[in-house]
Amino acid sequence: MLFLDAGSSSFSGSLSLEEKRLFQYIDEHQDEFVQNLAEWVAVESDSIQPQLRGEVTRMMKIAAARLQDLGAKTTLVDIGVQQLPDGQNISLPPVILAKLGEDPLKPTVCFYGHVDVMPAKIEDGWKTRPYILTEIDGNFYGRGTTDNKGPVLAWINALSTYINLNIDLPVNIKFLIEGMEESGSNGLEELIQKEKDCFFSNVDYIVISDNLWLTTKKPALTYGTRGNACFSVEVSGGEKDLHSGGVGGIINEPMSDLIALLDSLVNSSGCILIPGIYDDVIPLTEEEMKQYEQIEFDLQEYKANIGVKKILYDTKEEIFSHLWRLPSLSIHGIEGAFYEPGIKTVIPSRVTGKFSIRQVPHMDLSKVEHQVKEYLENVFSKRKSPNKLMVSMQMGAMPWVANIDDPQYEAAKKAIKRVFNQDPDMIRDGSTIPIARMFQDITEKSVLMFPLGAADDGEHSQKEKISRSNYINGTKVFASFLLEISKLHKELQKASNLKTVT
Ligand SMILES: C[C@H](N)C(=O)N[C@@H](Cc1c[nH]cn1)C(=O)O
Ligand SMILES: [Zn+2]
Ligand SMILES: [Zn+2]
């Protein structure tokens, strides 16, 4: 067997015999773990394009079979249908609920992950084929490698290591794995509500492993994410597309109306122009400012990681607050627009713009929806266009902030220290895990986000990758986390029992 050293792992302190065995096994079984990742990446489980829904369902079945192989009691739960914008209904992929171990003396950790991915086509500019895992210079390129198949597999690898070494699992494990995260986690809230007093009743800790570190070298723990409100704005004119030579200049073109509307949303400094949108955003506290100051951050490296030459802000404090504490508005695309190469002298009769607003705590989703609709209707009315405008909020997810004093943050810090020999950055993230806030609100359990990917992993982009080092050391960190959380949980229980007695 080919033995490959994952590289940057440098163990802190002396490892227990158990940890030595676990880590050695993980190092020695890298090829097998990589092969599993290649098999998962090969499934085009894109949850955005309805015609690929069958592949998402196939992916769910593959993941369920893997958990079953580990000995987990696994159920694929039907969560109903999704209504598409054209009124058609298509099945949602089933959600995996699985459990491994039911020892009442052990804590129960529930891991959440998703195995759906963002769309990826070679024509988008990929240098490698997006659904064929390709290793270049210690990095595995492919859609879903870091978001989120790699981290889900790292959990599974960690568990299979315990099982294959016959080491008693220090915790009971539950899994909730879904296939619609990238689409807004359709149907999941209802399932969590339904399972609150069943599947979740004995869960002590919920762990999500998604998003990225802030840098390429230093691990991070994430204690907050922004929400997202996704809008569509449709402008329709006559009943059919028209010849731009035949009628260009004598009608109000839907595309011109739409471009004006989209252009009215945000200025070139990134400031959202919708009146009232910042009203409920609370100012940054001094404590937050101090936390930001403590985070090491290299602006040049950050720019290189995201592949841009200039960003709107010069200081790390401004960057963090704009990513984590302030809303942002991004324009994503136009349905109905001509986008192929070449020339097409047609005036489209109906076009739909897509944009989203990442919101932060204290912003109210329905208020944002109202503000957006009122503003766009107002801008449109000023154009005196006879075309028809329709604005709708397609999806709304709430922001999430955790309590970093929860014991599992402590356990995760210890596990990181043992594997990477450094303390993690404590960060928030600008993106959204729709389910994070729902977990917290509905189950009232502690939620930890434990990212594995490095800052240059390019989630959602053409060069998505995870490094061998992060994938393999990530597997070790999760194996170690299970030991740490079980130790800490026992200590806390002992302390609380003592308190009750005295
Ligand atoms: C962080 C996670 N991998 C992710 O990318 N989530 C999506 C979820 C979403 C939000 N609106 C629609 N989908 C994201 O943040 O874009
Ligand atoms: Zn993700
Ligand atoms: Zn994603």
pLDDT tens readout for residues 326-342: 999 999 999 999 999 99
pTM of the model: 0.92
Question: What length does the chain have?
Answer: 502
Q: Would you place residue 496 in the very low, low, confident or very high pLDDT band (cuts 50, 70, 90)?
A: confident
Residues annotated catalytic, as ranges: 116, 181
Q: Which of 433, 457, 461 for a ligand 1 pocket mutation test, highest count of atoms within 8 Å of Cβ?
A: 433
Query: Cβ(225) to ligand 1 under 6 A?
Result: no
Nearest CA to ligand 1 atom 12: 184
Is the ipTM of this structure higher than 0.95? yes
State residue 358 phi and psi, 5-degree precision.
-80, 115
pLDDT for 13: 63
Measured CA to CA, the distance from residue 130 to residue 122 in angstroms comes to 7
Q: Which atom of ligand 1 is nearest to the CA of 429?
A: 1
Average pLDDT over residues 57-83: 97
Q: How far apart are the CA of 99 and the centre of ligand 2, in A?
A: 22
- Residue type at position 190: E
pLDDT for 1: 29
Dihedral sign (CA 208, 211, 216, 221): negative
Residue 52 has pLDDT above 90, yes or no: yes
User: Where do we find the tokens 């790390």?
Assistant: 316
Q: How far apart are the CA of 12 and the centre of ligand 3, in A?
A: 32
Residue 7 has pLDDT above 50, yes or no: no
Query: Cβ(82) to ligand 1 under 6 A?
Result: no
SS3 332: strand
pLDDT for 12: 57
Q: Which residue, among 4, 55, 58, has the nearest Cα to 34 in the 3D structure? A: 4
